Chains A and B, each alone.
Chain A
Amino acid sequence: MSKRDLRNLTLASAALGLAALLPLYDTGYLLSIATTMAMFTVLATSWALFSGPTHYISLATAAFFGLGTFVTGLGFQTLPMWMLPLIAAGLGAVLAALVGLVTLRLSGVYFVIFTLGLAELVRQLVTWVQNRTGQRGMYVLTSITERDIYWQLIAMAALVFLVGWLIARSRMGFALRIIGNDETVAKHSGIDTAMAKILLFMISGAVAAVVGAMMAPRYIYIEPSTAFAPILSFQVVIMALLGGTGRLWGPLAGVIPFTLLWEFISRNAPNQTLLLLGLAFLLIVYVLPGGFVGLYERLQHRFGSGGR
């Protein structure tokens, strides 16, 4: 482990540790926003693990997330609570593998459309099953407080950062970067591109399902239209791109300002949230390609080389 790795590890642990102290200070509004932020941090970071290097934009986050909430919704009365995220992770990984096998041969825009369709498909399927069985939504009434959820999410964030750090240093991470640059070269260099993409997509899908399972008690009442709401997928993509996917901390840099802005707009002009989403997207495409990470690297480059 190099000096820089050690410094980054210390910084990351300190930041996470500090974040974990927040509920001791406030359990009201601040914690509520922080929980949302923690949720999006985990989702956007794990999204970027796959989509960052490969440039395959996935809009399936809502499908995995929704799946996770339903695991908790259906299982919280009969199964021990600690088991639910594990089941969600397993199911998320399986769903991701299935989707991967079918779609990762598709490239570019076809993959995007398919993943968007997937979330919708799962939602319709669940609705259909519920209609057949005469169910509506379901209540998730537990003794779990927002504080517990927040701590679970922080732990999950730590895990995702650790996994991301390990992947980036591994042959697997390198393979994904090569795939993102030129898939043909990747294949002819000996990389099993389908396998690499499916594995990473499974990690990403499992994490999103776990987050869904952890978040379910917060919603109290869950039904397909909210659990599988496609807007979640778009929010995750925009936040990750706003922050930038080139570094592990990139998505976090997008999540914090975007969540605050989203909160501000949905309080003051609740009908304009979609407009914000659109504007943020335009901003990223035209002004901030590479997100805040890209901007940071450009500045570093300019001042780094200018100073010497």
Chain B
Amino acid sequence: MARVVLEVRDVTKRFGGLVAVREMVFDVHHNEVLGLIGPNGSGKSTMINMISGAFAPTAGAIRLNGQDIAGTSAHRIARQGVARTFQLVRLLPELSVIENVIAGAAFGHRKRWGREAESFARQLLERVGLGGQITSAVSSLTYINTKRVELARALAGEPEVLLLDEWLAGLNPTELQTGIELIRSLRDEGRTIILVEHVMDAIRSLCDRCVVMSSGAKIAEGTPSDVLTDPEVIRAYLGADEDA
């Protein structure tokens, strides 16, 4: 198996008395798309926020290429090679489309500036299907295009690990197909991706492996077809026996 890029070891996050994530353990390998799935409120976003440095874990270790990044600040983690998109798209409204992407290139894992950053951003925008709208204002973009810009920004630092937090949420059926194709093409390029997702089609067709969370803990891990037929996973999604 390919080398381990990201190791999550016994990571716990408490918010006061609430345990949002409990002793999570999983690995992400090079060139792998790992699905992080589970019902609403199961702690997926908290997990992503800890990997990207938005929150510090209460306990446990997160190692990126062997180096512990748990609890370091978000900008350091970004420079070490973790890039992310946000559950609710966050663009920089006063900046043009291409500047939004350069923002990801100028300070990230692999830094570019000036002409080099501009031509790289241009390439990425073409890559995500936005080649024609480079100088547009971000306010003029359609919903899926805002997601494309955000994706290009995350790719711009050439991260070791890309975290996509429900990147496909809110797309209509046609856009969804386009979106899945786009992420599949990233996968084929050999990128390492953690995908937090609810869309089952996407999980089945994109993920090499899935980690399933429920109430903050890992309840299953394996290939998408295995975990999606696991009785405990079905129970977690559909509720307890008496409702089924």
Chain A residues within 8 Å of B, Cβ to Cβ: 171, 174-175, 177-178, 180-182, 184-193
Contact = CB atoms under 8 A, between A and B. Distances in A.
Given A178-B92, A188-B83, A192-B73, 16 more contacts: A171-B113, A174-B102, A175-B106, A177-B95, A181-B92, A184-B54, A185-B86, A185-B103, A187-B78, A188-B78, A189-B75, A189-B104, A189-B106, A189-B107, A189-B157, A192-B75
Given A171-B106, A175-B107, A187 B93 contact: no
Contacts of A189: 75, 78, 103-104, 106-108, 153, 157
A177 B84 CA distance: 20
B90 A190 contact: no
Contact of B75 (A174, A180, A181, A187): A187
B75 A193 contact: yes
Interface string B199-233: 00000000000000000000000000000000000
A188 B54 contact: yes
B113 A188 contact: no
Contact of B107 (A177, A184, A190): A190
Contact of B90 (A175, A182, A193): A182
What's the interface size class on B, roughly?
20 to 34
Interface string B88-108: 001111110000001110111
A178 B102 CA distance: 11
Contacts of A180: 94
Contacts of B84: 188
Interface in B42-100: 52-54, 73-75, 78-79, 83-84, 86, 90-95
B22 to A, nearest CB: 25
Given A171-B106, A188-B52, A189-B108, A177 B94 contact: yes
Contact of A184 (B79, B90, B95): B90
A187 B86 CA distance: 13
Given A171-B113, A178-B95, A191 B107 contact: yes
Contact of A181 (B73, B79, B93, B102): B93
B109 interface: yes
Contacts of B106: 171, 174-175, 189
A187 B73 contact: yes
Nearest to B74: A187
A185 B54 CA distance: 11
Contacts of A178: 92, 95, 103
B107 A171 contact: yes
A12 B238 CA distance: 69
Please provide the 8 A-B residue pairs with the shortest distance between their CB atoms, ordered closest to farther.
A190-B107, A181-B92, A190-B78, A187-B74, A190-B108, A190-B79, A191-B107, A192-B75
Contacts of B102: 174
Contacts of B103: 174, 178, 185-186, 189
Nearest to B150: A185
A190 B93 contact: no
Nearest to B102: A174
B235 to A, nearest CB: 35
Contact of B94 (A175, A181, A186, A187): A181
Q: Could you say which of A171, A181, A189 has the most chain B C-beta atoms within 10 Å of its C-beta?
A: A189
A183 B8 CA distance: 27
13 contacts: A178-B95, A181-B92, A184-B54, A185-B86, A185-B90, A185-B91, A187-B74, A188-B75, A189-B103, A189-B104, A189-B153, A190-B75, A192-B75
B92 A191 contact: no
A294 to B, nearest CB: 12
Interface string B27-46: 00000000000000000000
A190 B54 contact: no
Nearest to A181: B92
Contact of A190 (B94, B95, B113, B157): B157
Contacts of B108: 189-190
A120 to B, nearest CB: 32
A184 B86 CA distance: 10
A189 B74 CA distance: 8
A199 to B, nearest CB: 14
